[in-house]
Structure 1
Amino acid sequence: MKIKSITLHIISMPLKKPFVTHLQTVEKREGIIVEVQDTDGLIGLGEGVAFSSPWYTEETVKTSYHILKDVLIPLMNKEPFQHPEDIGKRFEGVRGNAMAKAALEMALWDLYARQQNAPLWKMIGGTRTKILAGAVVGANSLQEMVRQAEYLVEEGYQRIKVKISPGADVEIVKELRSCFPKLSLLADANSAYSLDDKSRLKALDEFGLEMIEQPLGVDDLVEHSLLQKELSTPICLDESIITSHDMRSAIYLNSCGVVNIKLGRVGGYTSALEIYRLCRENQIKVWCGGMIEFGVSRAHNLALATLDGFTIPGDISSSSKYWDEDIITSPIVVKNGVADRLDDPGIGVELNRKRLSEVTIGKEVFNQ
């Protein structure tokens, strides 16, 4: 792969509605759009999904930018390479910074697929034509959560994820289950609980949740294993799974029944595909998580979710859920709870240059 230039865009857009968790309320989303251009003029696209502050992981937009500029781009250029997996493996020598790694590696995968004139989903072995879609509700009041869920169900979403925390859990889940007795519901705790809260988490068993996502510490596997023995509801791990080594450890410990695979969290496709294969081999369910992304990352999520094992609806909502206008020319659309896979080369979307320019707050080009 002969690279001519890499362009980093720092962008910022207000959300249509604030996104509320016990950790943070997000009203404005910053991110990094990566363009990798080859010597023939083809461009691959990636997206850095770190937030402005380190509330989800330790990475931020600023730290990701630094790592991309000063570490990963020089490392990519150190030696020639033939395939994006070569870079995914090369980046393993850099500790942490998964979201920065993913941003560049995703762009290289997109470029590689475009060079083959093939959709990216085909290059990674995907087969699904329809992608099952879920969405997240988060608000400061139970009434608003119910209103959000009603709207999403009317839009055809097949799974609703609700944010919970101690003292804001059983009542919320009970009300949503009462309003939507047959809907697939999962509760996302974002590590709000400890083992001392076991009784509160066990109280959720009666509501038929599909899973409880990341109830305990962000880097924990052992206590999740202890908790899973006490719950009938499957535990889904999110923040705890960053590498394939983490996944193997979770399997040995029986820490979960489900894993949420996010390209940004695990460092890109090379790592995500390893984790996916381990889950398939060990009968652990998987689904594709979201990070309040712009259209580039959303299109990458669609490609990932074409893999056979992604049978649980993922956080793949329409672009219009979060943005008045996305940065891609053909916004992602969910109808009746599904999104169509994108069959054009690469991730199947192009940048809306006018919109990108409007929301860009910083830009730098690195000629190779």
Structure 2
Amino acid sequence: MKLEGVEIRTIRMPLVSPFRTSFGTETVREAVLVRAVGADGEGWGECGASALPLYSSEYTPAAAAVLSEVLVPALGGEDLDPHRVAGILSPFKGHRQAKAALETAILDADLRARDVPLSYHLGAVKDRVACGVSVGITPTIPALLDAVDGYLADGYVRIKLKIEHGWDLEPVRAVRERFGDILLQVDANAAYGRADIEHLAKLDAFDLSLLEQPLSADDLGGHAMLARRIGTPICLDESILSAEHAAHAIELGACCIVNIKPGRVGGYLESRRIHDLCVAHGVPVWCGGMLETGIGRAANLALAALPGFTLPGDTSASERYYETDLTPPFRLEDGHMTVPTGPGIGVTPDAAVLDEVTVSRAWIPLAGAAAGAC
């Protein structure tokens, strides 16, 4: 496709309730959106970075800057195959979430122009996917039980609890005792260290489907040690930045499940490579969430429809996070959500809603016009 230019927007959308993890508490979702404009149409991508570099080194002001100043200008104005984007951007170190948003926008524009759904392009085999919900750290255990009760009533088929030091065994025990044989997992967001291995082994008592990212992202050896010590399956999240990282982790025995977050690994095409690798090694995968708007949520559903995604993901309904989403809301039906069938990601943001939540925007031309704020 002939890429004419790219628009970079920063938006701020209030969350319906605070979302607390070991990284901090979010009450507003600040995100960078990318709109790629070509001769035959446009496409959208969403950057998963947060307002502060807590989950990873990336954060929204830096993502907007590197997109505007480095990544978009590097594409040039020639005809561009979306599958070449990652290679063109590879000389620039890091910034996977920004690169993912740009690649997704270009891929979306290309697929829309050819009337091809993203799900079909990636190799999806399902028209709807099972959905779980991620429950942040609450002020009290009774508040946690009320939250879980509400999500189960809504129909979510899996509950994931965020844990950290001082908020792990007791809340997990309380949820298991109150709700019985539900599909339950926990996510530590790298809050623990090797000295905590014996403590984490106590989670075996609660028949969890998995323990997600208990140790630091760069400690694959520690994860392998933990995996040999406990019976609960280890799932890696922050440690997996590419198919190469996934292969190394699997080889070391550091995990037996992988959480694929497209932004974290550099985009949906790299996500498919990780999926294919894991399928070849018999390792289940599932799609993680980054508090996405409907733009990112639509693309995640397309990815989660691939055959290796055998565990419910974090692609919750729009109302879980936002009173008004950027796109038509995604709703939960019988514990599942429908995969969009339209071309590209299958949804388009509402212009009025988008303008209302936009705090900055810039247009970067690739066809000879001058750049500037708009």
Give the TM-score, by structure 2 length: 0.95
Superimposed CA distance per residue, residues 276-322 of structure 1 (whole angstroms, 9 cap, x where no aligned partner): 11111111110000001111011110110110111100001111111
Question: Which residue matches 2:10?
Answer: 10
CA distance in 2, matches of 1:282, 1:79: 39
> Match for residue 88 of structure 2?
90
What does 1:184-223 align with in structure 2 at a 5 Å threshold?
184-223=183-222
CA distance in 2, matches of 1:133, 1:344: 21
In structure 1, the partner of 2:262 is: 263
Query: How many Å apart are 1:6 and its aligned residue?
Result: 0.9
Show structure 1 runs of 4+ deviating over 4 A. Answer: none
Q: Which moved more, 1:195-204 or 1:50-59?
A: 195-204
Which residue of the partner structure matches residue 21 of structure 1? Answer: 21
Alpha carbons 1:89, 1:270 under 8 Å: kept: no
Alignment of 1:1-368 (within 5 A): 1-40=1-40, 42-77=41-76, 80-82=79-81, 84-138=82-136, 139-328=138-327, 330-368=328-366
> RMSD in angstroms over aligned alpha carbons?
1.1
8 Å contact kept, 2:258–2:285: yes
**AA of the residue aligned to 1:11:** I
**Cα shift at 1:141:** 1.8
C-alpha deviation, 1:70, in angstroms: 1.3
Write the deviation string for residues 240-291 of structure 1: whole angstroms up to 9, x where unpaired. Answer: 0002221111021010011100011001022211111111111111000000
What's the CA shift for 1:173?
0.7
Aligned to 2:370: none
Query: One-letter code of the match for 1:233?
Result: T
Q: Distance in 2 between matches of 1:39 and 1:46?
A: 18
Tell whether the 8 Å contact from 2:4 to 2:77 is kept in structure 1 after alignment: no
* SS of corresponding position for 2:161: strand
- Aligned 8 A contact 2:3 2:79 in 1: no
Confirm or deny: 8 A CA contact 1:44 1:111 kept in the other structure: yes
Deviation at 1:79, TM superposition (A): 5.3
**Within 2, Cα distance between the matches of 1:259 and 1:92?**
24
Distance 2:83 2:101 in 1: 14
Q: CA deviation at 1:19?
A: 0.1
> Distance in 2 between the 1:150 and 1:318 partners?
16
SS in 2 for 1:310: coil
Secondary structure of 1:114's counterpart equals helix
Offset at residue 92 of structure 1 (A): 2.3
1:9-36 residue CA offsets vs partner (Å, 9 max, x unmatched): 1100111100011220001110011111
Partners in 2 of 1:11 and 1:48 — Cα distance?
11
| In structure 1, distance between residues paired with 2:330 and 2:76 | 33
Residue deviations 1:119-178, cap 9 Å, x none? Answer: 110011111111110111112221111111111100100001100012210101111111
- Unaligned 5+ runs, structure 1: none
- How far apart, CA to CA, are the structure 2 residues paired with 1:23 and 1:124? 32
CA apart distance, 1:93: 2.1
Q: Distance in 2 between matches of 1:321 and 1:7?
A: 28
Do 2:250 and 2:256's aligned partners in 1 also have CA atoms closer than 8 Å? Answer: no
Q: Secondary structure at the match of 1:324?
A: coil
Per-residue deviation, residues 175-198 of structure 1 (Å, max 9, x unmatched): 111122121111000111111111
- Give distance in 2, aligned partners of 1:352 and 1:59: 27
Aligned-partner Cα distance in 2 for 1:101–1:218: 20
**Counterpart-to-counterpart distance in 1, 2:76 and 2:331:** 37
Deviation at 1:78, TM superposition (A): 6.6
Is this contact kept in 2: 1:14–1:29, CA < 8 A? yes
Q: In 2, Cα distance between the equivalents of 1:236 and 1:290?
A: 15
Mapped partners of 1:183, 1:89: distance in 2: 43
**Greater alpha carbon shift after TM alignment, 243-252 vs 97-106:** 243-252
Separation of aligned partners in 1, 2:208 and 2:88: 40
- Structure 1 residues 341-366: Cα deviation after superposition (integer angstroms, max 9, x where no partner): 11111111111110001100001112
Indicate if the aligned counterparts of 1:20 and 1:140 stay in contact, CA closer than 8 A: no
Distance 2:91 2:178 in 1: 49
1-side partners of 2:133 and 2:3: how far apart? 37
Which amino acid is 1:364 matched to? A
Structure 2's unaligned 5+ residue stretches are 367-374
Write the letter of the residue equivalent to 1:32: V
Equivalent AA in structure 1 for residue 70 of structure 2: V
One-letter amino acid of the counterpart of residue 5, structure 1:
G
1:224 and 1:23 mapped to 2: Cα distance? 20
How far is the alpha carbon of 1:206 from its aligned partner? 1.4
Give distance in 1, aligned partners of 2:345 and 2:26: 27
Aligned length: 365
